Amino acid sequence: MIHPLLPNQLQKTQETMRMAAEFILRPISRKYDKAEHEPPVEMEQLNQAAAAQKESTVGDDSVKSMDLKGRNLWAVISLEQMCWGDVGLFLARPGTGLGNAAIMAVGNPDQKSQWGKRWASMAITEPAAGSDSKNISTTAVLDGDEWVINGEKIYVTDGDRCDCVVVWATLNKALGKTAIRSFIVEKGTPGFSVARLEKKLGIRASDTATLIFDNCRIPRENLLGGKEEVETDIDAAKKSFGGAMQTFDNTRPMVAGMAIGLGQAALDMTKALLAEEGYEDSYGTSMGQQTAIQYELEMLEAELEAARLLVYKSAWMMDNKMPNSKEASMGKAKAGRIGNKISLKCVEICSMQGFSEDHLLEKFSRDSKILDIFEGTQQIQQLIVARQVLGKSSAELK
Would you say 347 and 355 are in contact if contact means Cβ atoms under 8 Å apart?
A: yes
Would you say 256 and 338 are in contact if contact means Cβ atoms under 8 Å apart?
A: no
Compute the half-sphere exposure of residue 165: CA atoms within 13 Å on the CB side of its CA: 33
Strand extents, DSSP E, the chain: 120-123, 139-143, 146-157, 164-170, 180-186, 192-197, 208-219
Would you say 311 and 257 are in contact if contact means Cβ atoms under 8 Å apart?
A: yes
- The single-letter code of the amino acid at 379 is Q
For residue 152, the tally of other CB atoms under 10 A from its CB is 17
Mean pLDDT by 10 residues, the chain (398 residues): 69 90 96 94 74 56 50 91 96 87 88 93 91 86 97 96 96 88 96 97 96 98 79 52 71 95 98 88 65 89 96 93 94 97 97 95 98 91 94 88
pTM of structure: 0.89
**Pairing mode of beta strands 164-170, 120-123:** parallel
Which residues make Cβ contacts (< 8 Å) with residue 214, sequence separation at least 6?
A: 150, 191, 193
DSSP letters, 251-297, are HHHHHHHHHHHHHHHHHHHHHHHHHHTT----TT--GGG--HHHHHH
Q: What is the per-residue pLDDT for 289?
A: 66
**For residue 131, what is the enclosing H or E element?**
none
- Tell which residue, 281, 180, 159, has the closest CA to residue 239: 180
Q: Is 156 helix (H, G, I), strand (E, B) or coil?
A: strand
Alpha helices for 86-181 (secondary structure H): 87-91, 98-106, 109-115
Looking at domain 110-240, its CATH superfamily turns out to be Butyryl-CoA Dehydrogenase, subunit A, domain 2 (2.40.110.10)
Tell me if 110-240 shares its fold with 245-390.
no
Q: What is the per-residue pLDDT for 69?
A: 64
- Tell which residue, 205, 204, 202, 217, has the closest CA to residue 167: 217
Three-point CA angle 117, 321, 17, nearest 5°: 50
Which CATH number is 245-390 given?
1.20.140.10
DSSP class of residue 321 equals: T
The residue ranges of every structural domain in the chain are 8-105, 110-240, 245-390
Q: How many Å apart are CA 169 and CA 186, to the nearest integer?
A: 15
